[in-house]
Amino acid sequence: MTLDDVRITARVRPTARHEGAINRTIWWSRATTPILHGVPVFSLYGDQRRPTGQMMSTFDVVLIDLQDLGCRIYTFITTLLYMIEACAKDGKEVWVLDRPNPAGRPVEGLTLRPGWESFVGAGPMPMRHGLTLGELGHWFIEHYKLNVAYRVSRWKAIGLTKRRATAGRSVIALG
């Protein structure tokens, strides 16, 4: 596959806000879907946390590019689970651009009790789970026995010990 074969057909956000020309403080009606850069923008936050049939009909492959914080209560990981479940149900592929866990690899805290799952607790994992988003996806697939095409592209750090004067932050590249 080349970039010429890829067409962006929708954007799904795990937050209530959208950047660009849309006012950041607007909560819009579910009856209307904002358009940004020529594609519909869907929100998976607030009253709509799981992908709808309308959302799922807009793509064949979902590319997930989110930064996890390494903590069970961070809602991006639950959004990942809900998207994986929907893709498993609809026969869609999930691709995750993986990044290092900023909290590191330590595992700390109590494990969520079975039956207490919620939007801030996607499964029986410790408070500080020590996994990357891509690894969490593999864990969800195994734990919930999901049958889905799942691909993880790991990010590799370049120059993390040196800060670039021009950007003031580390440089990372898709590895």
Token pair of 36, please? 């940004």
Single-letter amino acid code for the residue at 47: D
pLDDT of residue 2: 60
Distances, alpha carbon 140 to alpha carbons 94, 121, 151, 163, in Å: 13, 12, 13, 35
pLDDT tens across the length of the chain (175 residues): 566 777 888 888 887 554 444 444 444 444 456 676 778 888 888 788 999 998 898 889 998 988 888 999 989 999 999 999 999 999 999 999 998 888 888 899 999 999 999 999 999 999 999 999 999 999 999 999 999 999 999 876 554 444 333 343 333 322 2
pTM for this model (two decimals):
0.78
Q: Which pLDDT score, from 0 to 100, does residue 166 have?
A: 37
For residues 156 and 169, give the distance between their C-alpha atoms in angstroms, rounded to a whole number: 15
The structural domain count of the chain equals: 1
Write out the E strands in 6-129: 11-13, 35-36, 39-43, 61-64, 93-98, 108-111, 126-128
Quote the pLDDT of residue 154. Answer: 87
Q: Could you list the residue range(s) of the whole structural domain that residue 97 is in?
A: 3-174
Nearest to 31 by CA among 15, 52, 60: 52
CATH number at residue 160: 3.40.50.12170
